[in-house]
């Protein structure tokens, strides 16, 4: 009898986070991980545990979340996509699937011992960077069509002040001031590679890319930048926040509505079929909305 070989399956997942209590599984929780694992169980008739690249908060959306799981079962790519999506609600969908090639097969003993190796793909540990985008509508009157898809600030925001403040956050820093009190990360040190802010009419687009993020980090940063933008604080205030490591000194945690996980970057050796077409569409529609 031929012995079945374990395979590592990688999925690209897109979701509207407004209906869900975040990514991470909870007991009797209405989370995206719960829903996807339940869909996999129904499709494969066996329990499956998945690992994601970035655990999004409640209400946060994903243009392309990356997850992996291990199985001995064989399916075609289209069978995986249609089969899993058949058991998912319309707010969550598998947009692509990829099986790691034979040259990167692994030993389950290594995985159980949680040993990292460059020759084993891992949705979280193999990630080089993560990119989030915040879509912010700045106008005195809110628009119902933007509900749960865009953040909203009614008072005028100064773009240049916000750009100066955001620039202070680039680089490797201790982001304790911008982490949630419930954050489970072992270290508050993160490296922000890029942080740019664009404005198109009444529409702000904030793009932030880093090696990793702490719980609520992006939303806490946005909350502080808004205080700078509406003249309540000077841009240099951000430098003070980085030094004092006190969450209570920073701005409030801003709404999750406009936050999107846009991209997880990996080495090209994995040959993942990541969908740049979605990112281009997302960028164009946000720039040309007004």
Active site residues: 57
Residue in 172, 35, 167 with CA at minimum distance from that of residue 93: 35
Cα(227)–Cα(237) distance, rounded to whole angstroms? Answer: 10
Is 139 annotated in a binding site? The answer is no
**Dihedral sign, Cα of residue 168, residue 163, residue 18, residue 192:** negative
| Beta strands 7-15 and 171-174, pairing class | unpaired
Cα(182)–Cα(220) distance, rounded to whole angstroms? Answer: 13
Query: Cα separations (Å) of 88 from 33, 115, 153?
Result: 11, 32, 33
Strand pairing partners for 151? 136
Question: Going by C-beta distance under 8 Å and a sequence separation of 6 or more, which residues neighbour residue 98?
Answer: 9, 10, 11, 12, 77, 271, 272, 273
Q: Which residues are known binding-site members for substrate? A: 132
């Amino acid at each position: 009898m031929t012995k079945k070989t374990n395979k590592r399956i990688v999925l690209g997942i897109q979701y509207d986070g407004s209906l869900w209590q975040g990514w991470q599984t909870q007991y009797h929780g209405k989370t995206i991980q719960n829903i996807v694992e339940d869909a996999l169980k129904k499709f494969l008739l066996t329990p499956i545990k998945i690992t994601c690249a970035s655990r999004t908060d409640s209400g946060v959306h994903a243009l392309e979340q990356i997850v992996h799981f291990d199985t001995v079962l064989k399916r075609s790519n289209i069978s995986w996509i249609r089969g899993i999506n058949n058991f998912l609600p319309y707010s969550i969908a598998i947009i692509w699937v990829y099986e790691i090639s034979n040259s990167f097969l692994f030993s389950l003993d290594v995985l159980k011992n949680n040993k990292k190796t460059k020759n084993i793909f891992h949705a979280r540990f193999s990630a080089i960077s993560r990119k989030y985008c915040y879509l912010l509508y700045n106008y005195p009157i809110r628009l119902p069509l933007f509900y749960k898809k865009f953040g909203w600030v009614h008072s005028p925001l100064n773009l240049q002040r916000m750009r100066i403040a955001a620039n202070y956050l680039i680089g490797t820093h201790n982001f304790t001031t911008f982490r949630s009190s419930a954050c489970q990360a072992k270290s508050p040190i993160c490296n922000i590679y890029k942080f740019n802010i664009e404005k198109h009419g009444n529409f702000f687009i904030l793009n932030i890319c880093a090696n990793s993020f702490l719980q609520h980090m992006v939303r806490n940063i946005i909350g502080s930048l808004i205080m700078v933008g509406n003249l309540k604080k000077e841009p240099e205030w951000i430098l003070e926040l980085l030094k004092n490591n006190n969450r209570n000194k920073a701005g409030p945690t801003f709404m999750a509505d406009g936050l999107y996980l846009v991209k997880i970057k990996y080495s090209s050796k994995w040959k993942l079929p990541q969908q740049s077409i979605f990112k281009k569409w997302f960028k164009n529609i946000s720039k040309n909305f007004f």
